[in-house]
Amino acid sequence: MSYRLSELKVDQPPQLLQGIETDEQWAAKRERIKRAWLELLGEEPEIAPSAGTSPKPYEVIGKVEEADHTRLDIRYPANDGDTIGAYLLLPRDSSGEKTKRPAILALHPTAESGRRDTATKEGRDNRRYGLELVSRGYVVLAPDSIGFGSRIYPGAVPFQTAPFYERYPKWTAVGKMLSDHRRALDVLGAVEEADPARIGVIGHSLGGYNGWFLAGLDERVRAVVSSCGFAMFAGDPEPNRWGQREWFSHFPAVTKGLQKDTVPFEWHEIAALAAPVPLFMWSGMDDRIFPNAEAIVSGMKDLGTLYKRAGASEAFQFWLGAAGHDFPGQARELAYTFLDRWLGHQ
- In three-state secondary structure terms, 263 is strand
pLDDT at residue 48 tops 90: no
| pLDDT at residue 238 greater than cutoff 50 | yes
Q: What is the mean pLDDT of residues 113-122?
A: 98
> pLDDT by residue (tens digit) across 276-320?
999 999 999 999 999 999 999 999 999 999 999 999 999 999 999
Report whether 103 contacts 200 (CB < 8 A).
yes
- The Cα 200–Cα 11 span in angstroms is 31
Q: Mean per-residue pLDDT for 333-340?
A: 98
Nearest-angstrom CA–CA distance, 84 and 184: 9
List phi, psi (to 5°) of 6: -65, -15
Locate the domains of the chain by residue range.
Answer: 3-342
- Is the CA virtual torsion 276, 310, 338, 90 positive or negative? negative
Q: DSSP readout, 68-93?
A: SEEEEEEEEE-TTS-EEEEEEEEE--
In DSSP terms, which residues pair with 4 in a beta bridge? 262
Over the range 277-288, which residues count as b (16 or more CB within 10 Å of their CB) and which as e? Answer: bbbbbbbbeebe
The answer to whether 114 and 147 are in contact (CB under 8 A) is no
294: helix, strand or coil: helix
The pTM assigned to this predicted structure is 0.96
DSSP symbol at 42? B
Q: Beta partners for 21?
A: none
Give the count of beta carbons closer than 10 Å to the beta carbon of residue 108: 28
Q: How far apart are CA 333 and CA 172, in angstroms?
A: 34
Q: Which class is domain 3-342?
A: alpha beta
Instruction: Tell me how far the alpha carbon of residue 229 is from its chain's centroid.
Output: 8
What confidence tens digit (pLDDT) does each residue in 125-155 have? 999 999 999 999 999 999 999 999 999 999 9
Which stretch of 10-24, 91-105, 246-260 has the lowest confidence by average pLDDT? 91-105
3-class DSSP assignment, residue 288: coil
Is residue 171 classed as helix, strand or coil in its secondary structure? strand
